[in-house]
Structures are given as C-alpha cells and as structure tokens.
Amino acid sequence: MKNKIETILSEVKQKIANIKEKNELFHLHTEFLGKNGKISTLLKDLKNLSADERPKIGEILNKCRNEVENLIKLKTEEIDNRILQEKLDNEKIDVTIPVKPYKTGTAHPISVVQRDLMKFFESRGFEIKYGNDVETDYYCFEALNVPKDHPARDAQDSFYIDPETVLRTHTSATQIRTMEQQKPPIKMVSTGMVYRIDDIDGTHSPIFNQLEVLVVDENVTMCDLKGMLEDVLKFLLGEHTQIKLRPSYFPFTEPSAEVDVTCPKCAGKGCSLCKNTGFIEMLGCGMVHPKVLERNGIDSEKYSGYAIGFGLDRMAMGRYGIDNIREFYENDINMLKQLK
C-alpha cells in the first residue's frame, strides 16, 4: 500500500508538470481525488487493513492527499496567473495617444480677478456688495464731493437716464449708501459694472468693471492704507511685488494717490510695458475726504477711512496678457476656453 501511495504521488507530480490548461487539471483532480479517484479508492481500502497498520498508512495517505491537493492548488494559481498575464498583455495600450480633455466650464477672465479679490477681502472682514448700476446723480456724484459744476465730471462723462439718474461711473455710489445705512466700523467692497461715455477701442470700453474697497473706523491712517495695498497686491501679483505711491486727485479722497507696482512683465528690470521704469500704474486710492464722511453723518474728527479702487479689466488684461479690452466683451470661445 505504501508503495502504491508513492507511485501515485510520483505519477501526480509527473502529470502535473506537463499540464498547461485548466481542464487538464480538472481531469487530474477527478483521476486522483474524485469520488472514484485513485486516492479516494485507497482511502476506501483502508478499512481492509489491520487495526495496527491502519493509522500508519492512513497518515501517509492523508499526507499524500494533502500534497496532491496542494500541488493542484499551486498549479491552479500558476495557470490563473498565466491567463491573467496574457489578458493584461493583450490589453496593452499606447498611453501617448493624445486625447481631448474632459470638458468643464470656465470663468470669464474678469470674474477670475474679481473672485480672487472678493475672497481676499472677505477673509479680511469685508462685506462684498454689487449695488445698483443705475444710480441717482446724488449717490454717484453729489455725495462724493463732485457737485454739478465740477470738472471731474468731464473726465467721467456719464450716461444719463434722466437729469437726476445716471449709469454709475464708479462703484463708489454703493459706498455712500453703505455709509448712510451703517455706522462705523465699516469694511466693505463694492464691485460690478461701471459706465463712462467712451468709444470702444483697444484700451477703452463704455462698460468696464471695478472693485472698490472702503474702510471707515477710528484710527485709520494712510499707513494702514499702504499696508493693505501691500498685502492685497502681493496676494494678487506675487510676494516680490513692490509698490510706490504718488500723489493724485480724486474728489472723494484727500490725500489721493496713484499706486504703481513692480512691472509684472519684467519683474522690475525695465521693459517696453513699463517704459523702462520697472513700475506700472495699477490703481487709485486715498483717505476718504472728511466732507464725504460728514455728508453721511460720520464725525470726521473721530473717524477716518480709506478707499481703494481696482480696475478689473485692466488687471485681467495684465494677468492674461490680453492687450485689447474688446476681447473681454466679444467673448470669442477660443479665448474663453483657455481659462481654467
């Protein structure tokens, strides 16, 4: 019996070595481990052995069965692995074949800049508003220290709906409404479309977009204004950005300043864009004129404030290297889809 077992084992080993396919393995399993298989038959024959021999041979036979089962299992895995490998090999692709990117929508360049600034100021405690595009003459001019005969009105030739109603020339009107309704401390941003009579050309558009910042509180100084400018412009244009203030004039701020920043094209080295000065004009700002505060019932002895005005179109032109403002309102899909 012992010999028989060994013969069976070597027979299995020999056969299994030549097996390539799973069905052969199945046959092998049946031949040896099936109901009437060679090992199963021997197991049945065990009862014919003496009580003495039975445990000994039984142990050997069990060992043999385990070994055969194990061999079949190993062979199964081997074949499975081979089949899988063949399948994977058949699935080989050329990963360098180009594809059309997954389509998603895009934001308009002006919206991108606007949203960036909104996020910055919202995180700094500002309330963000749109306000009305159609405004009264009072909120757009009078309350901002620009009376009817003021020459500053010429620079901002306005569209009129009727003698007392205009399309806002700046978003500052919303700041006045806020000051009227709200006591200091005030931190707010007004943003949206503004309108000035201008023919449409490369750098002018009768409609463009602004974002204006207003702070009114106790102890607000021009140095605070400079600090805020530095923070926001570094956030927007990069840590290397330097700023320079130079005097200017706006009727609603005093002192008023233009802010020049490190030229984004040459990083300050000097190029055609900055006319070799290393700086380009970025925005206007100033300390809120006491007359504007007083007119809105804010004590200018106690409170002071600053205002900053961003021209979003121009900033977007700078950021995306667009040199014709018209492109923003023509909305050529080829331009729009480049933005992500």
Partner 1 sequence: MIVTLNWLKEFVELDDISIKEIVEAFTFAGFEVESVKNMAEKFDFVVVGQIDKIEKHPNANKLQVCSINVGQKENLQIITGATNVFEGAYIPVALDGADLPNGVKIKTSNMRGLDSCGMLCSGEELCIDNSVYNGAEVDGIMILDEKDGKIGTPFAQILGLDDVILDVKVLANRPDCQSVVGLAKELSVMLNRPFKKPDLNFGTTNENLEFYLESETENCPFFIAKAIKNIKIKESPKWLQNRLISAGMTPKNNIVDITNYVLLEMGQPLHAYDYEQLNGKTLIARNAVDNEKIQILSGDEIELNNSMTVIADSEKPVGLAGIMGGKDYSISDNTTTVILEAATFKRENIRRTSRSLGISSDACIRYGRGVEPISCVMGLKRALNLIEQMQVGDICEKTYKNINLKEDLNIITFNYSKVEKLLGISIPLEKSIQILNNLDIKTKVDNNLITCEIPLIRSDIETSADIIEEIARIYGFEHFVSTHNEKTTPLAGSYEKPVALKNMLDDIMQTTTAHEVKTFTFISPNNYNKLLLKEDNILRDAVKITNPISYDYSVMRTQMLSSLLEIIGYNQSRKNSDYAIYEVGKVFVPKQNDLPIENNVLAYATIENNADFFYVKSITEMIANKLGLTFTYQPNNIEFYHPHISANIVIGNMVVGTIGKVHPTVAKNYEINNDIYYFEIYTEKLPPKKVKKIKQSPKYPSSTRDLAIVVNKDVLVGDLMKSIQKSAGKLCEEIQFFDIYTGEQIGADEKSVAFRLIFRKADSTLKQEEVNESVNSILSDLSKKYNAKLR
Tell which one of 79, 207, 273, 322 touches partner 1 (CB under 8 A).
207
In the complex, the smallest distance separating the C-beta of residue 124 from partner 1, rounded to whole angstroms, is 6
Nearer to partner 1, 68 or 263 (CB): 263
| 202 three-class SS | coil
Q: Binders of partner 1 among 256-285, rule CB under 8 A? A: 256-258
Instruction: Round to the nearest angstrom and report the end-to-end CA distance of the chain.
Output: 79
Measured in residues, the chain has a length of 340
Q: In this complex, which beta carbon is closest to partner 1, that of residue 80 or of residue 218? A: 218
| Residue with Cβ nearer partner 1 (78 or 254) | 254
- Does position 204 interact with partner 1 (CB under 8 A)? The reply is no
Q: In sequence order, which ranges of 279-331 are alpha helices (DSSP H)?
A: 290-295, 312-320, 326-330
Q: Alpha carbon of 115 to those of 108, 119, 121, 236: distances in Å? A: 10, 6, 10, 11
Query: What's the Cα-to-Cα distance from 67 to each of 76, 167, 189, 214, rounded to whole Å?
Result: 14, 92, 81, 85
Query: Based on CB atoms, which residue is closest to partner 1, 89 or 162?
Result: 162
**Residue 213 to residues 5, 48, 147, 299, Cα–Cα distance (Å):** 94, 103, 23, 20
Region from 21-29, 33-41, 66-74, 149-157 binding partner 1, contact rule CB under 8 A: 149-157
CB 324, min distance to partner 1, A = 15
Restricted to residues 175-194, the positions that interact with partner 1 (CB under 8 A) are 185, 187, 191, 193
Is 211 an interacting residue with respect to partner 1 (CB under 8 A)? no
Nearer to partner 1, 62 or 130 (CB): 130
Residues 21-60 close enough to bind partner 1 by CB under 8 A: none
- CB of 261 vs partner 1, minimal distance in Å: 14
d(CA 260, CA 283): 7
* Residue 257 CB partners (closer than 8 Å, separation 6+): 245, 246, 247, 248, 284, 285, 286
**Shortest gap between Cβ of 321 and partner 1 (angstroms)?**
18
CB of residue 137 to partner 1, shortest distance in Å: 11
Is the CB of residue 117 less than 8 Å from the CB of residue 229?
A: no
Q: What is the dihedral of CA 272, 278, 284, 290, to 10 degrees?
A: -150
Residue 118 in contact with residue 210, Cβ under 8 Å? no
- Residue 26's identity, in one-letter code, is F
Among 79, 152, 273, 322, binds partner 1 (CB under 8 A): 152
Residue 24 or 116: which CB sits closer to partner 1? 116
Query: Which residue in the set 41, 54, 78, 159 belongs to the binding site for partner 1 (CB under 8 A)?
Result: 159
**Total site size for partner 1, rule CB under 8 A:** 90
Closer of 39 and 292 to partner 1 (Cβ): 292
CB 281 within 8 A of CB 315: no
Site residues (CB under 8 A) for partner 1, limited to 58-117: 103-108, 110-111, 115
Binding mask 295-324 for partner 1 (x = CB under 8 A): ---------x--------------------
Cα distance between residue 210 and residue 117, in whole Å: 11
**Alpha carbon of residue 251 to chain centroid:** 39
Token output for 239: 């840590």
Tell me which residues in 215-254 interact with partner 1 (CB under 8 A): 215, 217-224, 226-231, 244-249, 251, 254
State the minimum distance, in angstroms, from the CB of residue 230 to partner 1: 5
Q: Which of 255, 266, 268, 271 binds partner 1 (CB under 8 A)?
A: 255
> Quick one: which of 17, 199, 272, 297 contacts partner 1 (CB under 8 A)?
199
